[in-house]
Structure 1
Amino acid sequence: MITLDLTLPDTRYPIHIGHGLLDQVELILPHLPIPQVAIITNEVVAPLYLQRLTQQLEQHGVRTIPVVLPDGEEHKNWQTLNLIFDALLAANAERKTTLIALGGGVIGDMTGFAAACYQRGAPFIQIPTTLLAQVDSSVGGKTAINHPLGKNMIGAFYQPRLVLADMDLLATLPERELSAGIAEIIKYGLLGDIDFLGWLEANMDQLRARDPAALQYAVRRSCEMKAEIVGQDEKEQGVRALLNLGHTFGHAIEAGLGYGQWLHGEAVGAGMVLAAAASQALGWLTEEDVARVQALIAAAGLPVRSPDFGAAEWLRHMGHDKKVESGVIRFVLLKKLGQAVIQPGLPPPLLESLFHSQHIDPTLALQ
């Protein structure tokens, strides 16, 4: 087991990465203020892992409240969030009842937001069951739900007490979800570690084959980078925004197609290709650099071409991005491979050209 610490001015918590961690309940018990937890999961994960976690906790005298939500990004909304509150109130859950997120990014985000709100702040723990959640969304305390006009626009910064990344849980992950997680791993190499980017190019086949050593290294390196960035900028006032590489375009894809049509990592993959193309248009990347980005994303099993919404629709969805300041869309682009920067605004002709480029697929129309 590898343990990383995420250190912030007013809190610090461990990120455990390893095998068989779901069965090591002793890692969880010290983080429970009282012996009561609510385990929030979904209809897909519950049959796999809910009983196993529940039994171990109850064997140590911990009372459990199971909360099973519908699965999918399209359910990351107020209505589903309220199901968590309904269950907590019905069970007389207290302010010190710990909420445990047992699932992927949707479950983690909603559980964290529910914890931030319930009785004005209850403790919570992340047990991510997808690769994307292990390398990104479970770490750093961003919690949110979606709105039809924009992804993750309603939420709170609220840190967990513990992140437990059990690599064994990835064995049941569908191939499409595995690729979606690799998108976020590629992001870390592109934004800040060119050596890691090279490692990913050399080891993509091993990652997709779920080689244990390759997966654990990729998760560890991703979490190291995210912990370092979040430690510098918890509330995304500066450097943390770099973690949104590919996300301005990606979130527009998710909103434009309708949440759940593409997985988050799929949209981010195509979004990183567009970010690389925009960086080339500014003279920062070469054509060979963009081809390298596209080849790596394709090798991960991710889409490299985005839906054809038309420029007006693209701009409408990107206008709801969280990085917009004073009406200006701020893009995360690449000065060079391994070095991301925040670019406030792009010239309209450049954007127009981008939305009519080879990176847009006219067969993927707005639904």
Structure 2
Amino acid sequence: MPSTSEPAMPAVAATEPQTLVERAGSIGRIRLNRPKALNSLTLAIVRDIEAALDRFEADPQVAAVLITGEGERGLCAGGDIRMIYEGGRIGSSEPTLFWREEYRMNARLGRFGKPFIAIMDGIVMGGGVGVSVYGSHRIVTERTRLAMPETGIGFFPDVGASWFLTRQDGELGTYAALTGAQLAAGDVIALGLADAFVPSDRMPALVAALSQLPPTSTHADISTTIGAFTKPPPPATVASHREAIDRLFAFDTIEAIVQALEREGTPFAEKTIADLKTKSPLSLKVTLRLLRLGRAAPSLDACLEREFAATAGVLQGHDFFEGVRAAVIDKDRNPQWRPARLAEATDADVAAFFQPAAEPLFANTTRKGERT
């Protein structure tokens, strides 16, 4: 899903491709190429990624695939938020089509047969997490700022977040999903969403070394090559509060979490309460429900299916459009949520997001890369 970091920038010129796909030695490269829009995903980019995966998976000269973002600001800030906002307001099918193909692409990445390397440099938010977190080799830098900030725009963390934020012990994933906190490299690794820290100035040499590997290179060979460039990650700041987070976010209702934070009374707890108060109350409740269901889910596909069904509730509701208006359109940073308070968000309001999709994401489809 899009993040509020995406600026209102003009689209890349039509003559310039939004995705650059090439083979560099034994590495198949996917380069997101909308730097002025923080490489935010469009339907065309999603389809380009799928086509690139087809091409590189079938090419015996390709040992691994590498995804990066053009420009110096980040890998990807999320999806094309304006398209979803404008399309949703007029009842267009385009937002649903985008989510359908994006989530299927996320599932494809989750089972891709070759090593998939993601350089998570700079901003990595929303859909940017979705194109990187399923990689076999996920690299962060001192510039990494990863977040799932959707509760702040009346949405919920998607692209499989109810899967990848619930695979760890404890409640760091719950904290990240509800607060939308920006996580630096040390915390991304502590959360299990990245594997290695490489300083950004070493990236050109790392990419060159990867491209020189033999086409028959294995996952272990890729790891060894990356390992030659790694350094110990910076200290994890959010994870330093892990004991408190695990204890305070272990409840199954937002009200209980807030009450526990209020009883805690520490500066960390007070800041967390202040952060939660800026979020859509309904989004907080939907997100927590998705996370708790995701923790018990049998597969990534099951989580993506549930998240896809929940997007219908987003398009039929008020808070997403109000959240985007406040963050991106008018930029007054003063969303008027409906309902305005947690106590007013009823079980029926939440249940509206958990109805089966009219056209399921995966039912009766042949998924690329799936073994039969």
Q: Whose strand proportion is higher, 1 or 2?
A: 1
TM-score norm. by structure 1 comes to: 0.31
Per the normalisation by structure 2, the TM-score is 0.31
